[in-house]
Structure 1
Amino acid sequence: MASLVTSSTLFTLCFILFSNSCTITCGVFYEESVTEDMAIKRIEKTTHLHFFFHDIKGLRFLHSLLEKLKEFMPPPPRKNDFSLLMVVVLNFAFTEGKYNGSSISILGRNPIFDDVREMPVVGGSGLFRLARGHALLHTVWFNKQGDAIIEYNVYVSHY
């Protein structure tokens, strides 16, 4: 057993030394400066998108589920200091027009009882690649079932 441990340790040590020596002897340094002709000239654009999102709850059992979960929620620190908020991940995909095939991603905290909420734009695809910006949300209409119409003003900087 001792000879097996010694031989496996010796093999591991030789393997590490051999692979490090191969890396050192086979490595080649390469450097090329990027000239102005090679650099892609990108112009940053800012786009303002304005649309309305119709949030229709098709699954009515969620309301009863949320009522049951309230039992497990800790009480608010003060009587009037309770606000409901959600962490929201949204991907808006455009299927026609100038931005067909592009999308923007919004991720952030959404305190739903505030009049105007601000959420960050964290990325995008297509024409909105490397996008950043912010979205202003305003609830225009809602009912007791949880259906809502939310106005989005999205300001996106992209290349």
Structure 2
Amino acid sequence: MATSLSSHSTPLLLTISILIFSLAFPATGDDHVFGKPIDRKSLGLKEEKLSHLRFYWHDILSGRNPSAIKVVPPPRNSSTGFGFVTMIDNPLTLGPELSSKMVGKAQGFYASAAQQELGLLMVMNFAFVEGKYNGSTFTVAGRNPVFNKVREMSVIGGSGLFRLARGYVQVRTHWYDPETGDATGQYDAYVMHY
């Protein structure tokens, strides 16, 4: 025997629905506000400062232990390599020689994102291991037209000493080997952080 809802049960269903809604979304004041302003000092953030860091980025595609691995090859008919993707775990050093003191790693990827020129989309976390920046990171994302003398990409965030980081990096090619594809770039980072 099938049962149907009578008009007498409608107030009961409405009451139950209101009760369930009020339990799911309690009206308890400011404790459950989606967003609200806070004092930056409550997070330990002091005066914002601008830091300039210079280091060298080593992209090693050759040898027994490359730091850059092509994970998606380009199509055969592309003169610019449009479409390739390379994952990186590149050393960052204090000087231009790979034997120079390592200050961190660039971890992320670059991809050929231009059909008419060699223009890369780069997304990297710079993870530092030296001095007061040990354990801190900042993230760079942007366009790198590699044959331009100076290229600029954005700093879009960070962690540790680089929390809430913003700024930019300028890149200059220090050395490039067309046979292997290995390269060294000079990075000048200008980073606003707390």
Q: Give runs of aligned pairs for residues 26-41 of structure 1, distance below 5 A.
A: 27-30=27-30
Q: Deviations over 1:129-155 (max 9, x none)?
A: 100000000111111121111000000
AA at the equivalent of 1:29: G
Shift of 1:118: 0.4
For residues 99 and 17 of structure 1, do their structure 2 counterparts lie closer, same or farther at Cα, with a shift above 3 Å needed? same
The CA deviation at 1:21 is 4.2
Q: Which residue of 2 aligns with 1:147?
A: 182
Higher relative contact order, chain-length normalized (CA < 8 Å, sep 6+): 1
2:85 match: none
1:68 aligned counterpart, secondary structure? coil
Distance 1:127 1:15, change over 3 A: same
Distance 1:118 1:14, change over 3 A: same
Q: Which has the higher helix share?
A: 1
Tell whether 2:54 aligns with 1:46.
no
Closer/same/farther in 2, CA of residues 86 and 15 from structure 1, 3 Å limit: farther
The aligned counterpart of 1:70 is 78
CA distance in 2, matches of 1:150, 1:109: 15
Tell me which amino acid in the other structure corresponds to 1:146.
Answer: G
> What number of residue pairs does the alignment pair up?
145
In the alignment, the residues of structure 1 paired with residue 128 and residue 167 of structure 2 have an alpha-carbon distance, to the nearest angstrom, of 17
Structure number, greater radius of gyration: 1
Shift of the 61–67 alpha-carbon distance from structure 1 to 2, 3 Å rule, reads farther
Cα–Cα, structure 1 residues 134 and 13, in superposed 2: closer, same or farther, change >3 Å? same
Q: TM-score, normalised by structure 1?
A: 0.71
Q: Return the match for 1:138 from 143, 147, 172.
A: 172
- Amino acid across the alignment from 1:18: L
- Which of 123, 131, 153 aligns to 1:89? It is 123
Q: Once the two structures are aligned, what percentage of the paired residues are identical?
A: 39
Please, which runs of 5 or more residues in structure 1 have no aligned partner? Answer: 74-80
Are 1:115 and 2:115 an aligned pair? no
Per-residue deviation at 1:123? 0.7
Per the TM alignment, residue 111 of structure 1 is displaced from its structure 2 partner at its CA by: 1.2
Which residue of 2 is the match for residue 76 of structure 1?
none
